[in-house]
DNA sequence: CCGGACCATTGAATCGATCCAGGCGGGCCC
DNA sequence: GGGCCCGCCTGGATCGATTCAATGGTCCGG
């Protein structure tokens, strides 16, 4: 591998001069500069980020650790973060904890060893456990921004969407269409997102003058298409009169699974069963019965999270940085699955 | 940041001993070992991968650069690669060129600067341009494996799927169902994948005793749902008698777009229009008219590519490494979009 | 009592860059 | 002509680890 030394030798100058040509060319005379540049070109020299890092103490890579990289929502978040990072000349490591605290921990130590610039994370754990993860970060001095999760602003920045409002938008829409009994198909309720959307839905029920039974909860272990299918079978297990007339799903993967089963079983959507999803992933609109869904600005979330992290870790802007909570508003997108 | 020096001072030993405790504990006496470990624990020391790299000259991160990170097929590839890499204690940088040669080039120089262990890549360019990219790698001495793309085996390893066979499977299935005129909705034909699948489809037509006109090509600029929608409108633009009775799409995103338009326009699937996609992404099965599709072993592709790269770059196995081309066979998955 | 073997440990060189104090020559001012 | 300043460049310290030759100490056998 060609190093700065080889370039210096070839150009007949000192190492320091080569470094200046690369980093502060104005300090070097025209003729020397050209000679060094020629040497760089001829040798195909690429400066070692590793070595600069060692000296600078800061790397140019940020990590993004999500719960499920196969969920298009998180892919969009990643896409947004990547854009912002690229504009600042940084790279992004997009990683997947699969909701497994052990995987998460393994990645965190990888990140710590790599001395990444910082981490964008959707923690696999909740409450105290999540705080423990954060204090792990703080202990190692790794700056971090929480994505899709609130956290006390004295600890770190966070970027999220108001899930209570989102749940309320979805449920109010269904109640407004005349539905009186709806199902709520969700992942683990210990996940804040799932719990908050339920709170919103219940608030909407109260608002509509209905009691708590108006929202029947079907809790599953994960937010996937397969679990959505299982949930749909569960919802349709009793007598038809007892079925809800609409379903609100905690994300679009669940909703697609539910939709699929409804179609298979000849339950007409939206006539017999209206469906609302969450996230508004691309495949929601592309489903053969296009899904109504609560849109979250995924790309923007990623972009903002990356921006906050960069602000926090760029020596130029860090002094003015204060932790903040950014909360975006969700938006209901009505499609045929609720408005046949 | 706590360094090895701090640990050494605290434990009252030399730097070298701390290094030995971490890397070759058997060389260190029991008591010293414990004392050092205690110091590490108390100070929260994490060794700097950056510094080791500088000395070792090799990093513990591999890069994966794909054409479209929002395509679930590539996400699955990434997932597979990530698994394999994690098992070897390596990290993966999953990046997105968006089919843009400039983005690609920008990433390549980032990778070169980072001295990544190697790169898994689906090149944004074809033919000579792709070879130019590769020679860029070779020049910088960056090991690389081509994903979903063949390349002469003397230059690098490659992992791909037989696209001619895949195209032929799909088309033969349609011809076997009695279709005589099919549409082929594709991305740019300069992409080898798209062109090969067409060759396979034409071969199947010949096999079925049909002429070239049996496959009508609808070429679009990208492999996305939106382009699929546009293609469907184009296919349905003439007189109904002239419509093909089936469509084969170069990937599932296109197929989902086509399906969506068919449903909107009241064209029954599969009765009036059969549809076959490619990749068998999760959303193909989850579509309300589940899509027949040609399955590629995406996870396995990612895993294998990562394994080959690791073999090539691990000093222990590198000497026995020879570049190889791995070609998997695709598999047709029949669902309701062709077999109502 | 000495030489040699063996073991744990140390110290210094090294990786590739950055950065800064200082040297050197040339021009300018008094 | 001497002193100073300025522009350009050099040399060496530094970052945090690895690695290996050298050291010092213990123990054993002769």
CB < 8 Å to A112, chain B: 46
Q: Are residues B157 and B304 in the same domain?
A: yes
Does some domain include residue A53? Answer: no
Whether residue A13 is predicted with pLDDT greater than 70 in this model: the reply is: yes
Nearest Cα to A309, choosing from A145, A66, A151?
A145
Q: Are residues B242 and B264 in the same domain?
A: yes
pLDDT number for residue B124: 81
pLDDT in tens, B212-267: 889 999 999 999 999 999 999 999 998 988 899 999 999 999 999 999 899 889 89
The arithmetic mean of pLDDT across residues B17-36, rounded, is 94
Q: Where are the beta strands (DSSP E) in A103-190?
A: 118-121, 144-147, 157-161, 182-186
Percent of chain B with pLDDT over 70: 97
Does some domain include residue A236? Answer: yes
pLDDT number for residue B137: 74
pLDDT number for residue B168: 98
Token pair 């990612």 in the structure block, residue = B302
pLDDT number for residue A236: 94
Dihedral of alpha carbons A249, A251, A256, A257, sign: negative
Q: Are residues B28 and B105 in the same domain?
A: no
pLDDT number for residue B254: 97
Helices (H) and strands (E) in chain B, counts: 13, 12
The arithmetic mean of pLDDT across residues B89-95, rounded, is 92
Query: Which residues are CB-neighbours of B241 under 8 A, at least 6 positions away?
Result: none
The answer to whether the Cβ–Cβ distance between B115 and A50 falls below 8 Å is yes
CB < 8 Å to B44, chain A: 139-140
pLDDT in tens, B266-275: 899 899 999 9
pLDDT in tens, B98-108: 888 888 888 98
pLDDT number for residue A310: 95
Residues 160-199 of B with CB under 8 A from A: none
Does some domain include residue A338? Answer: no
- Across the interface, of A70, A256, A289, the residue whose CB is closest to B75 is A70
Q: Torsions phi, psi of A270, nearest 5?
A: -95, -5
- Across the interface, of A79, A106, A289, the residue whose CB is closest to B96 is A79
Quick check: A267 contacting B, CB < 8 Å?
no
Q: Are residues B264 and B282 in the same domain?
A: yes
Q: Are residues B66 and B176 in the same domain?
A: no
Residues with CB under 7 A from strand D: A 12-17, 20, 27-29, 31-33, 51, 54-55, 57; B 1, 3-5, 15-16, 19-20, 22-23, 45-48, 50-52, 54-56
The arithmetic mean of pLDDT across residues B81-94, rounded, is 93
Shortest Cα distance, chain A CAs vs residue B54, angstroms: 6
Which residues are bridge partners to B277 per DSSP?
B293
Q: Are residues A83 and A28 in the same domain?
A: no
* CATH code where residue A117 lies: 3.40.50.2300
Instruction: Give the C-alpha distances (Å, rounded to integers) separating A221 from A79, A105, A229, A283, B212.
Output: 27, 21, 12, 22, 51
pLDDT number for residue B68: 94
pLDDT number for residue B287: 81
Q: Are residues A156 and A175 in the same domain?
A: no
Q: Are residues A64 and A33 in the same domain?
A: no
pLDDT in tens, B153-191: 677 899 999 999 999 999 999 999 999 999 999 999 988
Whether residue A135 is predicted with pLDDT greater than 80 in this model: the reply is: no
Quick check: A113 contacting B, CB < 8 Å?
yes
Does some domain include residue A282? Answer: yes
Q: Are residues A29 and A146 in the same domain?
A: no
Whether residue B131 is predicted with pLDDT greater than 70 in this model: the reply is: no
Whether residue A138 is predicted with pLDDT greater than 70 in this model: the reply is: yes
The arithmetic mean of pLDDT across residues A117-130, rounded, is 82
Q: Tally the C-alpha atoms within 13 A of residue A212's C-alpha that lie toward its C-beta.
A: 3
Does some domain include residue B185? Answer: yes
> How far in angstroms lies nucleotide D26's C1' from the CA of residue B32?
17
Whether residue A132 is predicted with pLDDT greater than 80 in this model: the reply is: no
Token pair 């990645």 in the structure block, residue = A107
Which residues are bridge partners to A249 per DSSP?
A185
Token pair 């195909």 in the structure block, residue = A44
Number of domains in chain B: 3
Dihedral of alpha carbons B222, B227, B232, B238, sign: negative
A275: tokens are: 């469906």
Does some domain include residue A334? Answer: no
Does some domain include residue A337? Answer: no
Say how far apart CA A54 and CA A49 lie, in whole Å: 9
Mean pLDDT (chain A) is 92
- Across the interface, of A1, A113, A259, the residue whose CB is closest to B288 is A259
pLDDT in tens, B290-334: 899 999 999 999 999 999 999 999 888 888 899 999 999 999 999
Q: Are residues B134 and B206 in the same domain?
A: no
Q: Are residues B142 and B204 in the same domain?
A: no
pLDDT number for residue A84: 96
Whether residue B129 is predicted with pLDDT greater than 90 in this model: the reply is: no
Q: Are residues A220 and A72 in the same domain?
A: no
Does some domain include residue A336? Answer: no
* CATH code where residue A12 lies: 1.10.260
Residue A13's domain spans which residues? Answer: 4-47
Token pair 């038809």 in the structure block, residue = A240
The arithmetic mean of pLDDT across residues B47-76, rounded, is 94
Whether residue A28 is predicted with pLDDT greater than 70 in this model: the reply is: yes
A23 touches strand C (CB under 7 A): yes
The answer to whether the Cβ–Cβ distance between A289 and B290 falls below 8 Å is no
Say how far apart CA A202 and CA A137 lie, in whole Å: 36
pLDDT number for residue B153: 66
């Amino acid at each position: 591998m060609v190093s700065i030394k080889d370039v210096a030798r070839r150009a007949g100058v000192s190492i320091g001069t080569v470094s200046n040509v690369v980093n502060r060319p104005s300090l070097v005379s025209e003729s020397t500069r050209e000679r060094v540049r020629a040497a760089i070109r001829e040798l195909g020299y690429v400066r070692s980020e590793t070595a600069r890092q060692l000296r600078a103490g800061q790397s140019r890579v940020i990590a993004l650790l999500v719960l499920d990289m196969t969920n298009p929502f998180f892919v969009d978040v990643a896409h947004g973060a990547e854009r912002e990072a690229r504009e600042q000349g940084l790279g992004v490591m997009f990683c997947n904890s699969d909701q497994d605290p052990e995987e998460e921990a393994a990645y965190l130590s990888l990140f710590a060893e790599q001395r990444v610039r910082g981490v964008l994370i959707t923690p696999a754990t909740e409450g105290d456990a999540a705080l423990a993860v954060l204090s792990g970060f703080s202990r190692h001095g790794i700056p971090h921004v929480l994505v899709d999760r609130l956290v006390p602003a004295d600890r770190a920045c966070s970027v999220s969407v108001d899930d209570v409002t989102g749940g309320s938008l979805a449920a109010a829409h269904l109640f407004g269409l005349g539905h009186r009994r709806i199902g709520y198909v969700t992942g683990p309720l210990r996940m804040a997102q799932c719990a908050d959307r339920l709170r919103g839905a219940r608030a909407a029920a109260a608002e509509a003058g209905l009691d708590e039974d108006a929202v029947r909860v079907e809790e599953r272990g994960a937010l996937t298409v397969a679990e959505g299918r299982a949930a749909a079978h569960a919802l349709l297990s009793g007598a038809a009169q007892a079925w809800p007339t609409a379903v609100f799903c905690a994300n679009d993967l669940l909703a697609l699974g539910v939709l699929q089963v409804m179609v298979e079983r000849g339950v007409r959507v939206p006539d017999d069963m209206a469906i609302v999803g969450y996230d508004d992933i691309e495949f929601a609109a592309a489903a053969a019965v296009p899904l109504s869904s609560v849109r979250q600005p995924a790309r923007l979330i990623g972009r903002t999270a990356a921006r906050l992290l960069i602000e926090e870790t760029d020596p130029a802007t860090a002094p003015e940085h204060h932790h903040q909570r950014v909360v975006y508003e969700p938006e209901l997108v009505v499609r045929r699955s609720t408005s046949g």
